[in-house]
A and B are shown apart, each in its own frame.
Chain A
Amino acid sequence: NAGVTQTPKFRVLKTGQSMTLLCAQDMNHEYMYWYRQDPGMGLRLIHYSVGEGTTAKGEVPDGYNVSRLKKQNFLLGLESAAPSQTSVYFCASSYGGPRAEYFGPGTRLTVT
């Protein structure tokens, strides 16, 4: 079991460039999440998915899009990166309900 994996681990973008972050889980979890972590602000939910083919907005969805075409994968897209999107991005998955989430190792993104 690899758990939750994220690709890439690091990335530097220029303002206006686009990119996609990939999250994969092999635990057959229904729920998947994308968070961003910024100093002093904890984790903030960007988007989440409660099953294959579904997506929903979290607390800070603007500037991001997501897709869940396969149950094991959850993609986070930045169409036109901005310096305010410099952050560490974490993917997580769970069985849903009041149960723990399992986190990936994170992607550190810098937008210059």
Chain B
Amino acid sequence: GDSVTQMEGPVTLSEEAFLTINCTYTATGYPSLFWYVQYPGEGLQLLLKATKADDKGSNKGFEATYRKETTSFHLEKGSVQVSDSAVYFCALRVTGNQFYFGTGTSLTVIP
């Protein structure tokens, strides 16, 4: 069935370090892929998305490229800030009604 596997955390980085959070997926059909961010005590917010192969989603300095050949959608940011500390969720939706979420990766950025 459809599923998402993302890198386990927690991840701790120093400010201005490079961030990669890995996400791979299994899906029948052609999924759309998403990254959501959850700040402490809040709901999930859409960070970026890509709807077809080779699309690159980007927002707030974060990027992810939809790679069909490796079934991946890794999240990257060139220089993280303390304010990026949050939990990040990779998700997919195929044609249908349900999102499939990864288990989340907690990121802490220290000054």
B98, A48: Cβ atoms closer than 8 Å: yes
A106, B101: Cβ atoms closer than 8 Å: no
Residues of A within 8 A of B43 (CB): 4, 90, 103-106
Residue B73, interface by CB 8 Å: no
Residues of B within 8 A of A40 (CB): 103
The interface residues of chain A, by DSSP majority, are classed as: loop
A100, B98: Cβ atoms closer than 8 Å: no
B62 to chain A, nearest CB (A): 15
Residues of A within 8 A of B36 (CB): 103
**Interface residue tally on A, bucketed by range:** 20 to 34
Residues of A within 8 A of B45 (CB): 103
A90, B44: Cβ atoms closer than 8 Å: yes
Closest residue of B by beta carbon distance from A45: B98
B51, A98: Cβ atoms closer than 8 Å: yes
CB-defined interface of B72-102 with A at 8 Å, one 1/0 digit per residue?
Answer: 0000000000000000010001110111011
Contact of A98 among B32, B101, B103, B104 (CB under 8 A): B32
Interface of chain A residues 71 through 112 with chain B (CB within 8 A): 90, 92, 96-106
CB-defined interface of A39-75 with B at 8 Å, one 1/0 digit per residue?
Answer: 0111101001010000010100000000000000000
B44, A98: Cβ atoms closer than 8 Å: no
CB-defined interface of B42-57 with A at 8 Å, one 1/0 digit per residue?
Answer: 1111100101000000
Interface centre among A43, A58, A96, A106, by most chain B C-beta atoms within 10 angstroms, is A43
A98, B94: Cβ atoms closer than 8 Å: yes
Q: Which residues of B contact A (CB under 8 A)?
A: 31-32, 34, 36, 42-46, 49, 51, 89, 93-95, 97-99, 101-104
Q: Please provide the 4 A-B residue pairs with the shortest distance between their CB atoms, ordered closest to farther.
A: A98-B32, A103-B43, A42-B103, A103-B44
In the complex, given contacts A58-B98, A98-B95, what are 19 additional A-B residue pairs having Cβ atoms less than 8 angstroms apart?
A31-B97, A41-B103, A42-B103, A43-B44, A43-B89, A43-B99, A43-B101, A50-B97, A97-B95, A98-B32, A98-B51, A98-B94, A101-B46, A101-B99, A102-B46, A103-B45, A104-B43, A105-B42, A106-B42
